[in-house]
Structure 1
Amino acid sequence: MIHKISTTDGLPPEVFPLYPDLEGKVALVTGIGQVGPLDSPFWGNGAATARLLARNGVCIFGCDINIKAAETTKKRLLMETPDAIVDVVSADVLKSEEMEALVASVVEKHGRIDILINNVGQTTAGNPVTMSEEVWSRQIDINLTSVYRLCHYVLPIMEEQGSGNIINNASITALRYIGKHQIAYASAKAAVIRFTKAIGVMYAKKGIRSNCVVPGLMYTPLVDNFANSDDPADREAAKRILDHNCPMGWMGTGLDVANAAAWLASGASRYVTSHELIVDGGITESTGTGFLAV
């Protein structure tokens, strides 16, 4: 059984690989915002990916609907990598005009976009009967259509460059039921995987690769906040997340997602496209015992 973690003590050592070919490249990262204190040992998936890319000399241009959260990530990145080039802006992935303006801002600043990290995601509970059509539509918009929007504006730029890497963030909920009624989120993330694979084939001869990372049950700052909250409801939510029989016996962190994304962005994965890289400690291949109770 997995129990609460408040530090990285007891976890395998963190590894920060270096990919020399990433030096000087430009990455657009959506959902880069970071919750929690600056000295937290944990990073959200988007923030952690930006962190590892920045360590590799990649110029980071991030967006988040919460500018304060985005600025927190920027501060953490610069505290760790003072010479990193990091810009963050407020932008809503649900608004096409803001995404078009965001992409234009990156090109204006750097002249190109080499890496696109589609990291935004959000889940709402509900099954096909209890979930309203309005909530369903918003879930599909946030988790799937947002990926389309960014690709819609970024792909022509990458095509003109003759190169590019798209990395979309999916979820193991796209692969199997994990005991939570989140029908729209699971459906959208499954579609993200199919969307990713189709793009990989469509643009393979144009020097553009498209892959997705499929995280499992990750210990992020949001989970840490829930686990340490004074609100009993928050602590109960954390307990439901943490009480899982993952085969490896511990939950991954944002760094595990970041390592997968950085490898996919680098030349080390040059022959990999239309791929779903599962990062879940083996849970989707387990019997499912200990999955969330309905």
Structure 2
Amino acid sequence: MAENLAGKVAIVTGAGSRPGEGVGNGRATAILLARAGARLVLADAMEDWAKDTQRMIEAEDGEALAIAADVTQPGQCRAIVEAATGRWGRLDVLVNNVGIGGPKGTAEDVDPDEWARGLLVNVTSMMLMAKYAVPAMRASGGGSIVNIGSVAGLRGGHPNLLYPTSKGAVVNMTRAMAVHHAADGIRVNCICPGMVYTPMVQAGGMTPAKREARRKRSILQVEGTGWDVGAAVTFLCGGNARWMTGAIVPVDAGATAIAALPDEMV
């Protein structure tokens, strides 16, 4: 009954973080899991970014292995899982963190090929990682899968069609997977981040004015970071969440709890 993950082995996809202010969700999650005692396989398409995360973990006397991988490729997903079981003999945690904004446009003007690519990265990759992780977790006596969704998958209003569609699919995929794997002692939950500020968001050309507007789009009106997302993921992976599966957890400063901000309710 604790978040003590000593002796456990975890995979985090998208575990690197691009250069910039703050830290990405994957890197923050990996570091916090390591601080809880887990040994980490850090998968990222950008190997240098994953190795930077590895160095941060090892600087705190944690154990981690960085691996370059494209999680849209079945063989590479299998290799990620085999890296964990080959080095440490077990797998207990999978964090499906990889995701992209995807193509712009509505149903009328989105490019179909870019649409298919967006679904492949944001949805199919999570299925592929689970395909190979579930048998390894079953052999270890159970485990925890956390899929990273988005508040965009819980409500409308997004200017583009792909992103909220794909994140909505992650939400219901989580519920379905929770049912499918409960008998194996595998819990499956979903974190839906809100307007967190990460290097990826920064790289998208975030102006100070837009950043301030995003901060105000919640009840708390406090800017979120990758550490807020990582803390929620770490909780769901630990023993204090042993009775949680199929849960969809917004980490959004209350943005999805309201139809309008208090000063708009006039």
TM-score, scaled relative to structure 2: 0.91
2:6 maps to which of 19, 23, 27? 23
| TM alignment of 1:1-294, pairs within 5 A | 19-20=3-4, 22-36=5-19, 42-79=22-59, 81=60, 83-124=61-102, 125-178=104-157, 180-225=158-203, 234-236=205-207, 239-244=209-214, 245=216, 246-288=218-260
How far apart, in 1, do the equivalents of 2:229 and 2:220 lie?
16
User: Contact 2:3/2:237 (CA < 8 Å) preserved in 1?
Assistant: no
How far apart, in 2, do the equivalents of 1:248 and 1:235 lie?
21
Query: Alignment RMSD, CA only?
Result: 1.7
Unaligned ranges ≥5, structure 2: 262-266
User: Contact 2:153/2:164 (CA < 8 Å) preserved in 1?
Assistant: yes
Q: What is the SS of the residue equivalent to 2:164?
A: helix
Query: 4+ residue runs of structure 1 moved beyond 6 angstroms?
Result: none
How far apart, in 1, do the equivalents of 2:162 and 2:124 lie?
12
TM-superposed CA distance for 1:243, in Å, is: 1.3
Q: How far does the alpha carbon of each residue in 1:226-258 deviate from its partner, in whole angstroms, 9 at most, with x for none?
A: 6xxxxxxx244x643541322211221111111
Q: What is the SS of the residue equivalent to 1:219?
A: coil
Q: What is the SS of the residue equivalent to 1:218?
A: coil
Give % identity.
Answer: 33
User: Contact 1:173/1:186 (CA < 8 Å) preserved in 2?
Assistant: yes
TM-superposed CA distance for 1:75, in Å, is: 2.1
Q: What is the SS of the residue equivalent to 1:243?
A: helix
Q: What is the SS of the residue equivalent to 1:88?
A: strand
Q: What is the SS of the residue equivalent to 2:54?
A: helix
Matched residues, number: 257
Q: How far does the alpha carbon of each residue in 1:128-152 deviate from its partner, in whole angstroms, 9 at most, with x for none?
A: 1121110110010000000000011
TM-score, scaled relative to structure 1: 0.83
How far apart, in 2, do the equivalents of 1:185 and 1:46 lie?
18
- 2:264 aligns to what? none
How far apart, in 1, do the equivalents of 2:106 and 2:10 lie?
36
User: Contact 1:28/1:117 (CA < 8 Å) preserved in 2?
Assistant: yes
Opposite residue 159 of structure 1, the aligned amino acid is R
How far apart, in 1, do the equivalents of 2:18 and 2:209 lie?
19
Unaligned ranges ≥5, structure 1: 1-17, 227-233, 290-294
How far apart, in 1, do the equivalents of 2:50 and 2:150 lie?
22
Q: What is the SS of the residue equivalent to 1:277?
A: strand
Q: What is the SS of the residue equivalent to 2:34?
A: helix
User: Contact 2:57/2:63 (CA < 8 Å) preserved in 1?
Assistant: no
TM-superposed CA distance for 1:177, in Å, is: 2.2
How far apart, in 2, do the equivalents of 1:239 and 1:24 lie?
45
User: Contact 2:196/2:223 (CA < 8 Å) preserved in 1?
Assistant: yes
TM-superposed CA distance for 1:49, in Å, is: 0.5
TM-superposed CA distance for 1:176, in Å, is: 1.0
